Each structure stands twice: as C-alpha cells, then as structure tokens.
C-alpha cells in the first residue's frame, strides 16, 4: 500500500508554460524534501503544516523509488509512511477561472491535502491518476508547498497482497517485533516512482476521448465520443479531424460521430513480413464556444489494427502473429522502479537489437511513456495487472480487482501495442474458489473491452488448474531444466512438447509460453555447462528452442517469452546472489552469453514461413 498527502500555500509570480494553445503544464520532477514517519504520527501531528526545510530531511529525487537512494539499510527495506514536500510556483493566470490538476504517473495508495483541506484519495499502484486542485487553491496566491505522504504497506486485500506479522516467539524476536512478507518474487520498490506534474485547462475542457474502430472491407470507421466537463455544458461544439503529417482524411463536428478513411496504413508489429511497424494517424479534437473561441484542444494518436483469435491462433489484420520476446520488470540501479527516459530508451533499443516483437508488463502496468514507445516502434504488449500470486478469491477481492481493471482500461485503452490483457500472474488457481472468480472477472473484462483477447498466466499443473478454461489464450510459466529437473538438459524438449500439447488438447485454445529459462551469474563460465553458468543458461534456452520449433508445426503454439529481459532486484534470500539472475542482460543492461543466443534465434524467425522440428517425438508430434 502507498498513501499520499498534499499541501499547498501560495504567493506571487509569473511564468508561461505551454503544451498547446489551451493547456499549460508544470513539471514537479526534481529534488523533493523527504522524511520517514517511523512512528506513524505524521497525520496526527499534522506534518502537512510543517516546513520540512526547518528540520532534518533527505533530498529525494522524483521520479524514483526511495529504497536505493541512500546508504541506509533501514530506508532500503522500509515499510510504512514516508513524506515528500516541494515548493513551487503556480502562475497567477492559472489560478483564476481555470481548471487545475495534479497528475502523478505512478505510486500506490494516496491521500492528499491542499491548504489543510483533504483534496482527494487514490487507491492502487502503478497506474497514473489525477486529482483536481481547482477548489483547493486560493485565488490570489502563487507560491505552493505540496506535501505528499505515501504508505507502501500491502495487506490481504490490496493488489498485490502483503502480510504484516507480529512475531510472538520471544526466544527469537523481541517483544513487538514485526515481519513483513509478500508472495511476489520481486522487490517492492516504493515512493513517487512516476512523473509528477500540474497542468491547467479552461473551466470547460475535454475530459476524455473514447473511440472504437470498425473495418468494413477496405474502409475503416472511427466511432468516437468526446467527454466534456462539466458534463451538463451546452453551447459548445467539437470538431474532430483524422489526419497524418501531410493530409486531412476526414473532419466531423459533434462530440459523438464517426470518421471514415479508405485503405489506411495499418499498424503492424515490428519485424513483421517487411511491413512498416508502428504507423499511426492523428486525431485532433478542438472544442469551441458559440463565439468561435477555442476552449480546449487535444491530440490522440491512433493505430489502425484489428485483433482476431480462435482456438489455434492470434491474428493482427488477418495475419497470424507469433510472439517472441520477454517478460520484463521496471527495475534499474539506484532508481528502482522510478521512471527514467534514459532507461526506457535503452530498453527499447535492446528489444529492437534482440529482434523481439513482444513483451509482457510483468507483473503490473508499465508507465504510459513505455506504451507510447511500444506504439511507435511496433512492439506488441501483453499488459498485466498487479495481481501477482493472488491467493484470495472472495467478493471483496473481486470488487478490488474489478476496480483495478477499470482503471487500467481507462488509462491504456487506445494503445495499439496492447494486444492482450493479463488479469493475473501465477494466482493460486488450483483453489476451487478461483474458478468462479476468474469466470466472472473474464466476463467483466470482456464487457469493458471485447476487442482484445484475455488471459491470466498460470503456473499450476494441468491436473489441478481450475480456472484457465475461461480465458482466450493459455499462458504458461514453466521452468523445465531449472526448478523442474534442474541440470537435466536432455529431457527439457521432451517435457515442454509433452506438456504444452496436453494443455491444447484439453482446452482447445492457443498456448503461449510466458516464462521459461534459468539464471546465470555474470562471468561464471563452465564446460561442460553447469547450472548458474552463462553456458548453462544458453544451453537451456536452446533446448527450449528445439521444442518450440516442433510445437509451431502443430499450429496452436503462438509464442515464446524468455524470463527475463534483464536481471532485477528481489527480496534478500540465501538462495539468490542479490537478485533474480534470469535476465539475458545484466541489471545495468549489458549482454550475457544468452543475449546473443536469443538474438540469433529471434533474427532467424523474421519472415520465416517454416520451422524445422529436429526431434523425433512421434508420440506427441505429427507431420514433423
């Protein structure tokens, strides 16, 4: 759980910042004053009234996770309240007759105050959200003190879950000692991880844009709906244009209408049959009053692509696609899960160098900026919720899960790169209660968005899985040669082919391998290969490649995703050398031996129409 508190005070100053003719924004990224609230007293003691600069504080960069910024072990593993404060200036022209919004790109649980008034709340992590400051700001001041409190404590009903245990074994723990646990296998970085900004619009503004694409032969239709605020406003008109860099293809008026375009350039994945990847058009929305004065203006990039799926395949624009890529984490040295354009750009370039065409946002939604890069570069995305290792399937959790799905869809609905929704990663779907839970959750998500296939990623065995029959595509995590029969490379391909074939035969659905592989310690070499050596990681991948080539000939296998793109931080354990070492890149994005093996593999698949099955497992493969 994270929690947020905000305060603002103001004086006088003038500045002009412009994103468009009607919208202005001010970034609040940079150094903030930061304090720990170890005794959980900040709210009762009204820290939001304090000037942090008058007391001890830590300089904390935003965006970043707070865990790795200092050398304090207590802060690295801290669970509880932390407080941020920043002083900034709001132009006076913003304050009068304007709509003012605080936007936070990513954290977890929030409560906010402005000038001693509670301004709003937000529950849930990773997804950007906004809070309306208009009524909280005075009309004659500009200098603002923003105070935010964040609490990263998870509980049984948060998504993901966490557990705070008060130990009662006094032979091992002093009185009152508590331990904090969670089931997911990555470090739970905390703080203001995303960009923070304030932006302003006129009091009448465009609140949201929704559109649905429809294809009829060679003509495409954009059925759009522009949501305005206030919702009961009259005497205004929307003008919507569909264009590219040089041409306007259609213009319509009205906040609900349909645009048309004949034979548009389609959005294609990267490295797909010599097609142009990531092509997008632009929707421009202009809002004017009766006098013809412009009240608001927005642009939305739109990719024309259509998804179809059946019990054997996934298609984009009526062409089969085969996913090749990685599970990832938003994780880097020092910044933790903090957003960084340098890291983002490097990761995108490494994905392209690897000849990958797809990633899964394991195990939470990624920043909007990542999705925009994926749209632009044609990288297909399986967008996953934060429901990792879910073990509770009652009504309250279902309610919380639906809320997360609605918020995710609201923020990410128009990204053409998102080709699948993953509702959870490795839930305890061997629990009989999970069957009805996921049946209704899939139904709910399909009502929200019928245009994309739905999955959740299972690690259960085929004989005890209770819920996967309700998804469109079976996504499987399995570690043959690592957790299962470690070191036995000679049976990896056999196991993979046998099991994945059984999943398809039982459920008659496409199968996707969302995780496989093993760890390697950088610089550890061995011939013959042994577990944890770079050679073993490479050998293990190549044994899986043999199985995948055979599975592809059967028609139901739609993709392979190595776990993981790069090494990432995990909670401290004696079984790990400081982190999860399954990446084909190191944590600072340098290649291990496996990076070159996978790159060669993925490059060989570009435009390949046939694969070679070299394994004579005729009990499982026909026409191989």
Summarize pLDDT for 82-98 with one digit per residue, the tens: 999 998 888 877 877 78
Categorize the per-residue pLDDT at 607 as very low, low, confident or very high, splitting at 50, 70 and 90: confident
Contact 454, 443 (CB under 8 A): no
Q: Are 570 and 363 in contact (CB under 8 A)?
A: no
CATH architecture, range 307-604: Alpha-Beta Barrel (3.20)
Residues 314/321, Cβ–Cβ less than 8 Å: yes
Distance (Å, whole) CA 406 – CA 290: 35
pLDDT at res. 109: 63
Over the stretch 184-226, which tens digit does the pLDDT of each residue have? Answer: 999 999 999 999 999 999 999 999 999 999 999 999 999 999 9
Which of the four pLDDT bands, split at 50, 70 and 90, describes residue 131? confident
- φ, ψ of residue 477 in degrees (nearest 5): -105, 125
Out of 230-234, 260-264, 394-398, 433-437, which region has the weakest mean confidence (pLDDT)?
230-234
Confidence of residue 10 (pLDDT cuts 50, 70, 90): very low
Domain range list for the chain: 24-152+188-201, 204-302, 307-604
**Bridge-partner residues for 559, per DSSP?**
323, 512
Confidence check: pLDDT of 517 > 70: yes
pLDDT digit string, tens, across residues 274-285:
899 999 999 999
pLDDT at 134 over 90: no
Average pLDDT of span 224-234: 93
Prediction pTM value: 0.94
Length of the chain: 624
**pLDDT score for 121:** 77
pLDDT of residue 71: 96
Please give the Cα distance from 511 to 499 (Å, whole number): 11
Q: With bands split at pLDDT 50, 70 and 90, how would you rate the model's confidence at 233? A: confident
Show the DSSP H helices in 475-614 as ranges.
Answer: 492-507, 534-552, 593-604
Res 192: pLDDT: 94
Neighbour count for residue 248 (Cβ, 10 Å): 11
What does the pLDDT look like over 275-333, one tens digit per residue? 999 999 999 999 999 999 999 999 999 999 999 999 999 999 999 999 999 999 999 99
- pLDDT score at 616: 60
**Residues 421/447, Cβ–Cβ less than 8 Å:** no
DSSP class of 156? T
Instruction: Give dist(CA 294, CA 136) in Å, integer.
Output: 26
Secondary structure (3-state) at 92? helix
Across 126-134, average pLDDT:
88
- The CATH superfamily of 204-302 is Immunoglobulins (2.60.40.10)
Phi-psi map region of 177: left, alpha, beta (phi>0 left; psi -120 to 50 alpha): beta
619 has pLDDT over 60:
no
Share of the chain above pLDDT 70, in %: 92
- Identify the band that residue 62 occupies on the pLDDT scale cut at 50, 70 and 90: very high
What pLDDT, on the 0 to 100 scale, is given for residue 540? Answer: 99
Q: Which of 136-145, 186-195, 498-507 has the lowest mean pLDDT?
A: 136-145
* Cα angle: 114, vertex 118, 121; to 5 degrees: 110
Q: What does 145-171 look like in DSSP terms, one character per residue?
A: EEEEEEE----TTSSS--EEEE---TT
Which residues, 6 or more positions from 536, have their beta carbon under 8 angstroms from its beta carbon? 487, 489, 518, 520, 526, 529, 530
Q: Sorting pLDDT into bands at 50, 70 and 90, what band is 624?
A: very low
**593-604 helix and 534-552 helix, angle to the nearest 10 degrees:** 20
Catalytic residue among 123, 142, 384, 426: 426
Give CA torsion, residues 567, 570, 575, 581, to 10 deg: 0
Superfamily of domain 24-152+188-201: Galactose-binding domain-like (2.60.120.260)
Please check the confidence at residue 246 and state whether its pLDDT lies above 70: yes
DSSP code at position 480: B
C-alpha span between 255 and 240 (Å, rounded): 8
Distance CA 34, CA 240 (A): 44
205 DSSP β-pair partners: 229
Share of the chain above pLDDT 90, in %: 78
pLDDT per residue as tens digits for the range 438-474: 999 999 999 999 999 999 999 999 999 999 999 999 9
pLDDT of residue 65: 96
Average pLDDT, the chain: 91
Give the pair of three-digit tokens for residue 166. 């008060």
426 is catalytic: yes
Confidence of residue 108 (pLDDT cuts 50, 70, 90): low
Position 136 pLDDT exceeds 80: no
Highest mean pLDDT among 48-57, 105-114, 461-470, 604-613: 461-470
In the structure, what pLDDT confidence band is assigned to residue 122 with cuts at 50, 70 and 90? confident
Give the residue from 335, 441, 350 showing the smallest Cα distance to 106: 335
What is the C-alpha to C-alpha distance for residues 103 and 245, in angstroms, rounded to an integer? 29
Q: Give pLDDT, residue 15.
A: 32
Task: Work out the average pLDDT over 38-59.
Answer: 90
Confidence of residue 622 (pLDDT cuts 50, 70, 90): very low
What local confidence, expressed as pLDDT, does residue 16 receive?
33
């Amino acid at each position: 759980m994270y929690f947020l508190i905000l305060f603002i005070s103001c004086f006088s100053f003038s500045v002009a910042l412009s994103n468009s003719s009607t919208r202005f924004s001010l970034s609040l990224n940079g150094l903030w004053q930061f304090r720990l609230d170890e005794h959980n007293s900040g709210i009762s003691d009204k820290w939001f009234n304090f000037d942090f600069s008058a007391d001890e504080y830590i300089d904390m960069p935003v965006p970043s996770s707070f865990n790795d910024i200092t050398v304090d072990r207590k802060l690295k593993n801290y669970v509880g309240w932390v407080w941020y404060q920043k002083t900034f200036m709001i132009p006076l022209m913003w304050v009068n007759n304007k709509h003012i919004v605080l936007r936070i790109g990513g954290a977890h649980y929030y409560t906010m105050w402005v000038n001693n008034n509670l301004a709003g709340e937000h529950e849930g992590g990773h997804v950007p959200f906004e809070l309306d400051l208009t009524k909280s700001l005075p009309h004659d001041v500009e200098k603002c003190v923003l105070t935010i409190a964040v609490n990263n404590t998870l509980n049984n009903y948060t998504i993901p879950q966490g557990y705070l245990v008060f130990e009662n074994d006094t032979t091992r723990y002093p009185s009152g000692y508590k331990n904090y646990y969670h089931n997911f296998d990555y470090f739970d970085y905390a703080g203001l991880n995303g960009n923070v900004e304030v932006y302003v619009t006129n009091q009448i503004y465009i609140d949201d844009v929704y559109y649905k694409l429809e294809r009829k032969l060679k003509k495409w239709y954009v059925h759009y709906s522009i949501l305005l605020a206030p919702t009961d406003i009259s005497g205004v008109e929307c003008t919507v244009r569909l264009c590219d860099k040089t041409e306007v293809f259609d213009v319509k008026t009205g906040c609900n209408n349909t645009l048309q375009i004949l034979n548009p350039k389609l959005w294609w994945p990267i490295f797909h049959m010599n097609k142009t990847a990531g092509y997008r058009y632009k929707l421009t929305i202009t809002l004017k009053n009766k006098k013809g004065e412009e009240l608001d203006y927005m642009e939305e990039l739109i990719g024309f692509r259509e998804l179809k799926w059946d019990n054997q395949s996934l298609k984009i624009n009526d062409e089969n696609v085969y996913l090749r890529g990685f599970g990832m984490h938003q994780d880097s040295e020092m910044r933790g899960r903090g957003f960084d354009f340098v890291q983002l750009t490097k990761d995108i370039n490494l994905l392209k160098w690897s000849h990958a065409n797809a990633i899964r946002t394991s195990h939470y939604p990624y920043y909007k900026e990542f999705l925009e890069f994926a749209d632009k570069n044609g990288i297909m995305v399986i967008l996953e919720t934060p429901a990792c290792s879910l073990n509770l399937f009652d009504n309250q959790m279902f309610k919380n899960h639906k809320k997360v799905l609605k918020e995710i869809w609201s923020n990410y609905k128009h990204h053409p790169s998102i080709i699948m929704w993953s509702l959870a990663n490795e839930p305890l779907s061997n629990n009989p209660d999970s069957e009805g839970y996921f049946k209704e959750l899939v139904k709910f998500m399909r009502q929200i968005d019928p245009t994309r296939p739905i999955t959740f990623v299972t690690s259960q065995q085929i004989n005890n899985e209770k819920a996967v029959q309700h998804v469109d595509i079976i996504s499987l995590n399995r570690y043959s040669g690592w957790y299962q029969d470690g070191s036995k490379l000679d049976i990896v391909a056999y196991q993979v082919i046998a099991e994945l074939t059984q999943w398809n035969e039982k459920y008659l659905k496409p199968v996707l391998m969302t995780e496989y592989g093993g760890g390697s310690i950088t610089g550890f070499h061995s011939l013959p290969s042994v577990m944890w050596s770079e050679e073993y990681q490479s050998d293990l991948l190549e044994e899986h490649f043999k199985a995948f080539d055979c599975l592809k000939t059967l028609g139901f296998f739609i993709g392979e995703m190595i776990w993981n793109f790069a090494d990432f931080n995990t909670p401290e354990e004696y079984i790990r050398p400081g982190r999860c070492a399954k990446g084909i890149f190191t944590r600072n994005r340098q290649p291990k031996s496996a990076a070159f093996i996978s790159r060669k593999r993925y490059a060989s698949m570009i435009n390949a129409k046939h694969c070679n099955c070299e394994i004579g497992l005729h009990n499982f493969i026909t026409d191989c």
